[in-house]
Chain A
Amino acid sequence: MQYQAPTRLDDVAALLASAGGHGRVMAGGTDLLARFAGGMPRPAVLVDIKRVAELMVIEQDSDGGFTVGAGVCGAAINENAILRQAWPGVTEAMDLIGSVQIQGRASLGGNLCNASPAADSVPALIAAGASCRILGSRGERTLAVADVIHSPGKTCLGTDEFIVSFYLPPRPARSADAYLRLIPRSEMDIAVAGAAVNLTLDDEGVVVSASVALGAVSPVPLLVPRAADVMLGTRLDNDVMVQLKSVVSASCRPINDKRGTIDYRNHVAGVLAVRAALIAGQRATAKERA
């Protein structure tokens, strides 16, 4: 295995292209190096992207949108108070991944490209309407995060392509998001189910825009427009929450495994979506007061 740590975006694309499918991008390496230790064959060329400036910055545009480099570690994301305030759901989802040690390395780009059905940051990014800037040897494209994962462990990125950064769009006042997951203990585990909710309220506290995304309950993280529709035009009253739970539970397509049965995952995803919606609603209201 050859190790390369280029400092320019074009060099990353060129290295991946010349590796002809035998290259691999490494950001924090928390999934990749653990797999190498477990016996996974190593690529011919390993491209460490952490010395490329564009992949390691968090920037807020003048219109309020955020660009987060694909290699920025979870600890740096959660140390950014402005980003945390604007996107509490995205940042808390990232923060849930692994230990302090893992947070010092793990990135949004790695979590997405690892393409696990149970990735914590991915439902939060999808609910946030985040997109990613993808660069390859033949040029650049932008994709919604929701369209990146193709199947468990597989993305739609070409062998010469990599994610440069994520874009979180500007949002109106009284907007907030939340992410919750269930694990059997309080730290260091993989989600049995996860739910992200992103809301915007109007002056009267009525939901004017909503999105709901689920993790660990289908082969790929799931955007559930029907669940979002249930909340539109409401104040998240009890009857709406009952309906939200049943729509979410009915939308899941989980597997039975050691972490949870199908019935349990369906139920828990619904409960988490309701709780996340209420938290997002409270946060959006609190921002109005602030």
Chain B
Amino acid sequence: MKQHICTHINGEAAEFLCDPGDTLLQVLRDNLQLTGTKEGCGSGDCGACSVMLDDRLVCSCLVLAVEAQHHQIGTVEGLATGDRLHPLQQAFLDHAALQCGICTPGFLVAAKALLDHNPSPTESEVRFWIAGNLCRCTGYDKIVRAILAAAENMRDSHAGAQS
């Protein structure tokens, strides 16, 4: 039997019908057309489907859609503000931190979770944090550079806003 789920996605109230066995990833993509979240392995190894569940970074392939009831979901679609890209998205473009792009939404959501939690990560902290996100194209280095550059940029803007 379908279940009716009320949740919040990227800050807005959302509701959907799903089967109890549907993953959050399936519902985001197939029911809600939020196709920014990608399916990679489907078993929690690759991080392509990373989303925020309340304040935790999770793989949406390892979350049942029914679990979203009365929780907050954050996806890559929530990063940009209108036409203005999030500093992480801009840094990924500036540093050519993507090639095929299928891992990129997962990296962006994971990187945002890192910077929300630690605005000044070291390179080593960045590398450990993104260990759960796999990329077959870039060799990771440009992704690490982009995250570090975005962190610096965001700290500067924050300091600028405060002065």
- Chain A residues close to B by CB (< 8 Å): 1-3, 5, 26, 28-30, 33-34, 36-38, 42, 46, 48, 50, 73, 75, 98-102, 104-105, 186-188
Contacts and interface: CB of A to CB of B under 8 A. Distances in A.
12 contacts: A1-B21, A3-B21, A5-B67, A26-B64, A33-B23, A33-B62, A33-B63, A34-B43, A36-B21, A99-B132, A101-B44, A104-B56
B56 A37 contact: no
Interface in B34-79: 42-45, 47, 50, 53, 56-59, 61-64, 66-67, 69
Interface residues of B, number: 30
Interface in B103-128: 110, 113-114, 128
Contacts of B69: 5
B121 to A, nearest CB: 12
B20 interface: yes
A162 B151 CA distance: 43
A34 to B, nearest CB: 4
B59 A102 contact: yes
Given A99-B132, A104-B57, A30 B44 contact: yes
A101 B64 contact: no
Contact of A98 (B21, B42, B66, B132): B132
Interface of B: 3, 20-21, 23, 42-45, 47, 50, 53, 56-59, 61-64, 66-67, 69, 110, 113-114, 128-129, 131-133
B128 A187 contact: yes
A143 B56 CA distance: 31
A202 B40 CA distance: 53
B104 to A, nearest CB: 16
A105 B43 CA distance: 14
Nearest to A2: B20
A29 B63 contact: yes
Nearest to B59: A101
